[in-house]
Structure 1
Amino acid sequence: MSVHLRRRPSERGIALLSVLLLVAVMAIVTTLILDRVNLAVRLAANADAADRARFAALGAEQFAAREIKRQLDLSPARTINVGGWIGQPNVLPIDDGSGAVVTATVRDGGNCFNLNSVVAGQPGDLAARPVGIGQFAGLMQALGVGSDEARGLADALADWIDTDQAAQPAGAEDQYYQQLDMPYRTAGRLLGDKGEIQALRGMTPQLYARLEPWICALPDAILSPINVNTLLPEQAPLIMMLAPGKIPLDRARTMIADRPALGYARIADFWRPLALQSQTFGPEIESQPQIVTRWFELDLVIQQGESRWRQTSLLDAQLTPARIISRRIGEP
């Protein structure tokens, strides 16, 4: 005897719905797995591109260090920009099969305001330096910042770096910063990167963007070692900065334009036009400008397909061979 079981239509519908649901779940799981695989592939490709860029940057640093030393050896008594090797972007050769393009720009690393110059002394015993504070305020005013705002930022910078807790007249020490919604303390040490000043009282993103091309954080608390032989015409405010309120912008531009083709042989030659007008600024300021550059900034941009790597290195050319002192990865 045989028994035939007949499914009801409702049961066949449930079975079909179960199959469709299972297929949908499998499709979703498969899509997620493919997304994860694609993400892993992209991450691996990005990591590979970053590694290639990092090694290319290291090679470019060595190449640039040798080229800087070669240029300095050609004129050891004075650093000059004959041929425009300073400030001129150059495409460096690279043959690793990746198709990467390395663009390197060498700049005089001392032609900027050294943020650490607002203090004097040794680590652990840093005190505010009035000359450096005044120069920072003067530079900001030359760039269009109001006098009160400029003085407040300059004093705040000195308080940020110095090792005491006595605020400058327009400055701010720990007492101010610890009252903020997200409290923090002043550094009490030299800056390692110019971006640190974004934590100062009164600093805004707009103001930092205006100041960023003009400032630097050299590893020593020295007055900004401006090289009068490598200054570009558009850097005339750095001459105004040396003696705030005493050197007009037009006069500063003229001092750059009238520079001998092979640069000034002595610092006294640079100051002579002002000395003839009975303008003197004291030995500390008059000895501040340089004719030989010690610090160089190397700006590297490595383009590989859609990937872009930006690195800025600071070189000490006083050492043999020239040595990398610091690196900054990413945009300023």
Structure 2
Amino acid sequence: MYIKNKDKGVILISVLLIVLVLSAIAMSIGSNFLLAFKRSVYQDLESNSLELFHNIESISIKRIEEKNRFGSQILTKEDPLFKDAFYYEHPSGQLFAQLSDASNCLNINSIVSLSNNNYIPNPKGIAAFKKLLILKEFDERNIDSLLDQMIDWIDVDNQPRGSGLEDYFYTGPLHKPQQYTSKRLFYDLSELKNLPAISYFDWKKLKENICVVPFAGMSKVNINLLNEADYEVLTAVLPNISINDAKLIISNTPKDGYIDIRQLMQDFPSIDFTNSNASIFFTSNLFLLKSEIIKDELKVSAESVIYLENNRTGYIISRSYNGL
């Protein structure tokens, strides 16, 4: 059968259009399949990672409890508890975990102590926090305002301190968002951003060397685990020493650590370790667990703070999760 040239052109164009449509459909199906596959991988990693992180928390708590099974143990930077990282190959990905000491910081809740079901100012905790911020070269008046607002945020009464603020301010028409003071301890550093005085501080600089542990009273610092970068913490804890004194103590701490305060005083007889704004310890009851799972180019991570109560029972007091 003879086909005219004009008809040949129509047929060719029709075939090309059909091929183009089929290609578009195939690409759409392929793209949707790839998207569904990636979503499935993400969901599997997300769900499995939570279970794996909980498992590694349990393993870490058991390691800490085993370390202290026969009583409180001296902990140093060379202890296997900190030196031995955890690595495990799992179908969901490669799991990495590392324990470290979490007491080389000042607990912001140490500015109060609990008395008669109310949180009242703790002079030593306030002195340590104030000295730390002065060392960071923040203005003293702004520091005082921040401290007053922190205490008012925690205490259960509605009586504002000198530079403090209570519910009347936070629920007022000019404050956004309207809210009430927590009347409890801080659970996360980000809660400080609720306080107007925080605007006077460089947030990145402020949060160095401070932390949140949901307990009032004196901070506890393990002097054996302080690094050179922690000299400001030690200077804030010991009110009668200079920055150079703090650096000298940290740099000359024996590799196997100090056993007690008497041994520390023998090495530094000119320094008064008894008059401190925090408890000087040679062991730790607060630990930071950092975990991450890597699957191909995907990564999820978590941070957990473990508290060892009475040197016997460990449990999680805070947890943060960074998903995909």
Q: Does 1:309 align with 2:277?
A: no
Q: Structure 1 length normalisation: TM-score?
A: 0.77
How far apart, CA to CA, are the structure 2 residues paired with 1:130 and 1:272? Answer: 28
The 5 A counterparts of 1:273-288 are 276=270, 279=272, 282=275, 285=276, 288=279
> Which has the larger displacement, 299-308 or 77-86?
77-86
> Which has the larger displacement, 289-298 or 214-223?
214-223
Percent identity of the aligned residues? Answer: 21
1:128-175 residue CA offsets vs partner (Å, 9 max, x unmatched)? 222212211211222332322223222221221111223233333223
Q: How big is the shift at 1:122?
A: 5.6
Correspondence for 2:10:
none
> Which has the larger displacement, 312-321 or 293-302?
312-321
Q: Does 1:138 align with 2:135?
A: no
**In 2 relative to 1, CA 213–47 (structure 1 residues): closer, same or farther, beyond 3 Å?**
farther
> Which has the larger displacement, 304-313 or 319-328?
319-328
1:312 counterpart SS class = strand
Correspondence for 2:286:
295
Residue type at the aligned position of 1:293: S
Residue type at the aligned position of 1:252: A
Residue type at the aligned position of 2:314: A
Correspondence for 2:12:
none
Q: How big is the shift at 1:206?
A: 7.3
Structure (1 or 2) with the greater strand fraction: 2
2:198 counterpart SS class = coil
The answer as to whether partners of 2:286 and 2:308 remain within 8 angstroms in 1 is: yes
How far apart, CA to CA, are the structure 2 residues paired with 1:41 and 1:205? Answer: 48
Q: Does 1:261 align with 2:255?
A: yes
Correspondence for 2:55:
59
How far apart, CA to CA, are the structure 2 residues paired with 1:326 and 1:185? Answer: 23
Residue type at the aligned position of 1:298: L
Q: Does 1:46 align with 2:39?
A: no
Root mean square deviation, CA, Å: 3.4
Residue type at the aligned position of 1:203: I
Correspondence for 1:216:
211
The answer as to whether partners of 2:222 and 2:283 remain within 8 angstroms in 1 is: yes
**In 2 relative to 1, CA 286–203 (structure 1 residues): closer, same or farther, beyond 3 Å?**
closer
Correspondence for 2:95:
102
1:289 counterpart SS class = strand
How far apart, CA to CA, are the structure 2 residues paired with 1:29 and 1:60? Answer: 46
Q: Does 1:249 align with 2:240?
A: no
How far apart, CA to CA, are the structure 1 residues paired with 2:229 and 2:88? Answer: 32
The 5 A counterparts of 1:1-332 are 39-72=35-68, 76-83=72-79, 85-86=81-82, 90=85, 92-98=86-92, 100-121=93-114, 124-178=117-171, 179-204=174-199, 207-244=202-239, 246-271=240-265, 276=270, 279=272, 282=275, 285=276, 288-318=279-309, 320=312, 322-330=314-322
Q: How big is the shift at 1:323?
A: 2.5
**In 2 relative to 1, CA 234–303 (structure 1 residues): closer, same or farther, beyond 3 Å?**
same
2:304 counterpart SS class = strand
Residue type at the aligned position of 1:209: K
1:288-322 residue CA offsets vs partner (Å, 9 max, x unmatched)? 11112111111112222222212111112345453
Aligned residues: 302
1:154 counterpart SS class = helix
Residue type at the aligned position of 1:323: Y
How far apart, CA to CA, are the structure 2 residues paired with 1:296 and 1:310? Answer: 17
The answer as to whether partners of 1:133 and 1:158 remain within 8 angstroms in 2 is: no
Which runs of no fewer than 5 residues in structure 2 stay unpaired?
1-16
How far apart, CA to CA, are the structure 2 residues paired with 1:189 and 1:74? Answer: 35
> Which has the larger displacement, 187-196 or 313-322?
313-322
Which runs of no fewer than 5 residues in structure 1 stay unpaired?
1-19
**In 2 relative to 1, CA 32–191 (structure 1 residues): closer, same or farther, beyond 3 Å?**
farther
**In 2 relative to 1, CA 177–108 (structure 1 residues): closer, same or farther, beyond 3 Å?**
same
Q: Structure 2 length normalisation: TM-score?
A: 0.79
How far apart, CA to CA, are the structure 2 residues paired with 1:299 and 1:326? Answer: 12
The answer as to whether partners of 1:127 and 1:163 remain within 8 angstroms in 2 is: no
The answer as to whether partners of 1:161 and 1:188 remain within 8 angstroms in 2 is: yes
How far apart, CA to CA, are the structure 2 residues paired with 1:183 and 1:30? Answer: 53
1:196-236 residue CA offsets vs partner (Å, 9 max, x unmatched)? 22222232597332233422221211211001111122111
